[in-house]
Chain A
Amino acid sequence: MTATDRSAGLAGRASARPASPRPVHSGRAARTRRKWYEIIALTGPAAIVFTLFVLTPIVFAIYYSLYKWSGYGWPTEFRGLDNYIGPYGAFRDPIFLDGLRNNGIVIVGSLVIQGPLAIAIALLLNRRFRGRAVFRLLVFIPYVLAEVTVGIMWQLILQPSGTVDALLTDAGLGHLITGWLANLNVVLWTMLFILTWKYTGFALILFLAGLANIPDELTEAAAIDGASWWQIQRHITLPLLGPTIRIWMFLSMIGSLQLFDVVWVASTPAVRSLGASNTMATYMVDHGFNQREWGYGNAVAVILFVISFLAALLFQRFVLRRDIEGAQTRRAR
């Protein structure tokens, strides 16, 4: 159906062309037409899927977000922007704002802790030594585990009188024991610790790949010129690793904004609803489904989408641009 519409439109455009005053080489017109067929054939399926499963849901989410809707029957109670900025809207709900703040803390925390940690380990693992493969594997394993598995695992390790508490007691640090998942002032930092444990391996693999792309000649030349290992890392390796680091920052940031599974599994509904560990995504599901505020849940989804979208745009515009341009010029040649 859609394909027919498209080719009809195309035929219309193609037949309109000869009407232009300049005589057209038939070969060139055919080539143009073929080019368009190719574009449609190659992008069509993806475009249809994208429209159906990405664009349409976004439009629907925006539509639903303007209603008070329990999920039974179609939405009928129009509320305008109340779900966003009304007296009971998201931006007036302290628990949603807590979630927004928690997302912010996770973004900054991930960048500040995982980045330097992974770079340090990558530089270390980039040197040749016995057992390097084993070490790489060990750091990467947490990333391979499913989020839900990780959440349950840490929930068990961190439970009262669990492994962590026992280790601390044995080490004479028993006074440090707290409700890792219950103390409202601690639980977000516990989440950040779990995320660091899990995602440092991902950053590491990216950085190792980036390091492998740095030609040995450069470091060798520097070494011949008398540069120390530290100088080589500081002035050659790190600058050349820049594009990889920036891409990782982007992925980490978007991942942190959409953070859901680990928090959902490892922290209880009570702790989330008190604003201690919730993120925008867990808040959305807690309200949209569990509290049956479907219209409101959609409003939160739209807010989350807009924030992620803006963050992605700004980051691409100001940070990633030179990396992407470089890639394009290289391909053009």
Chain B
Amino acid sequence: MITANLRVLTRVGLLAATALILFLFESAAPRPLPWMRLGLGNTAVLVALLLAGAPAAMGVSLIKILVGGLLTGALAGPTFAISGGAGVASLLVMIVLHHLLSAQLSPVGISVAGAACHQLSQIAIASVYLGHSNLWTLAPLFLISGVASGVLTGMIAYFAVHRLRQISPAEPAR
């Protein structure tokens, strides 16, 4: 039991560190479009969900949001509320889909749905913050870039999980 817990703890720690490195790398890298992020940090969250389940994914996501906000200086600012809120919303969607539709969806489908939810949540939170400003005209471009980044992060997560399972085949399949 202790070994199992240790394994989960180690995994969450490693994946959270990976998520943070990717998140920081992406914050510094130029963006393909002003409103587009590839969401590379989300790859680690998705890997945690697929390998270790919902609680581990929540752990990785919260560490990424809080420590990432602290390191980029955005903590407690409006952009933190937007990206943090959107991060939580998209994770919830991915958890639900992973549990209900894992026979129909691969990590790519789960990731695309999560990215779409992330983008829509960002607009919703920003609209509320800015007070009844209608920002929904931005939605199509946000969603299209979300599909692109969702496919990319889903593919990376799929191959990462595939490889990690080959390395530690003793892991019970989920």
Task: Tell me if chain B binds chain A.
Answer: no
Interface residue ranges, B against A (CB under 8 Å): none
Interface residue ranges, A against B (CB under 8 Å): none
